[in-house]
Amino acid sequence: MKSGIIKSLAEKKKTGKKSFAVLIDPDKANASILDELIELSSVAKVDYLLVGGSLVISNYLDDCVQHIKQNCDLPVILFPGSPTQVSKYADALLYLSLISGRNPELLIGQHVVSAPFVKQSGFEIMPTGYIVIDGGAPTTVSYISNASPIPADKNEIAMCTAMAGEMLGMKLIYMDAGSGARRPITESMIKLVADNIEAPLIVGGGIIHPEKAYLNCKAGADVIVVGNAIEKDASLIKEMSAAVHSVPAKV
Ligand code: 1GP
């Protein structure tokens, strides 16, 4: 059953409507944590729940996604660190190719291995150019991928990478400073990338203040993802969601 999330993101982009996504790491979420996140996210009108992480150690992914789907209507999008992180209970999968790196395994190799399995899953596949930007701290994704991030001040490299990804057919671009980044992606980089692509732009990594989420959207981000800050203080969901949704739509 296809869920049509890409289509709705493209439509929202046309009107300048921004989205907020809460990132849930299944390694850190038990049923009671999930219940709190579900309740707060539903009340705050969060747009999507992303589930995954660069290193999912536990076997809780399926249970985690199932628990969410049984308790709310929010769309669940998988954000996998590897092809094993797939659950048939999700609505969609960010089908990531790490286009900022030069590791063939994460550009195409793992996709080849998992293609038949992913195709028969039934959820929406969202082809996504994944661009990692230096966030001032070594991140799990950089270590695992053995790929250097784009330097934080090299806006043009990020722009060219996103353009290339889009022209290769990727439907979304995700710029990520990495979970727990010390420095989130700058607004100037977001603006340059957003001004040069038509695909919806997802931005995450190190966003801890609602004001930054707002400024990122003003600069051109279409979806803001927050994980770490919400793990520390779940009540932030309300303020983050309000900040993202307060960005004026295009007239
Ligand atoms: C990481 O973009 C996500 O891949 C979210 O980052 O956990 O720092 O919010 P944080």
pLDDT for residue 54: 66
pLDDT in tens, 21-53: 999 999 888 999 999 999 999 999 999 999 997
Cα 251 to middle of ligand 1, angstroms: 31
pLDDT in tens, 152-179: 999 999 999 999 999 999 999 999 999 9
Close Cβ partners of 174 (under 8 Å, ≥ 6 residues apart): 94, 96, 128, 129, 130, 131, 201, 202, 203, 204
Q: Are 241 and 44 spatial neighbours (Cβ–Cβ below 8 Å)?
A: yes
pLDDT for residue 112: 94
pLDDT for residue 3: 78
Q: Tell me, what amino acid is at 251?
A: V
Q: What is the mean pLDDT of the segment spanning 146-154?
A: 93
Average pLDDT value for the chain: 94
pLDDT for residue 143: 80
pLDDT for residue 171: 98
pLDDT in tens, 73-113: 999 999 998 777 889 999 999 999 999 999 999 999 999 99
Cα 204 to middle of ligand 1, angstroms: 5
- Give the CATH number of domain 4-245; options: 3.40.50.720, 3.20.20.390, 2.60.120.260, 2.60.15.10: 3.20.20.390
- CA 61 to CA 73: how far, in whole Å? 18
Length of the chain: 251
Q: Which residues line ligand 1 (CB under 6 A)?
A: 23, 176, 179-181, 204-207, 225-229
DSSP 107: I
Band of the pLDDT at 55, cuts 50, 70, 90? low
Q: Tell me, what amino acid is at 57?
A: I
pLDDT in tens, 187-214: 999 999 999 999 999 999 999 999 999 9
Look at residues 27, 10, 20 and name the one whose alpha carbon lies nearest to residue 49. Answer: 20
Q: Report the b/e string of 191-221 with b at 16+ CB within 10 A.
A: bbbbeebebbbbbbbbbbebebbbbbbebbb
pLDDT for residue 19: 98
CA angle 20/215/142 to nearest 5° reads 70
Close Cβ partners of 87 (under 8 Å, ≥ 6 residues apart): 51, 61, 62, 64, 65, 66, 78
Predicted confidence (pLDDT) at residue 222 exceeds the cutoff of 70: yes
| CA 135 to ligand 1: nearest atom | 8
Using CA positions, which residue lies closest to atom 2 of ligand 1?
A: 204
Predicted confidence (pLDDT) at residue 57 exceeds the cutoff of 70: no
Using CA positions, which residue lies closest to atom 5 of ligand 1?
A: 205
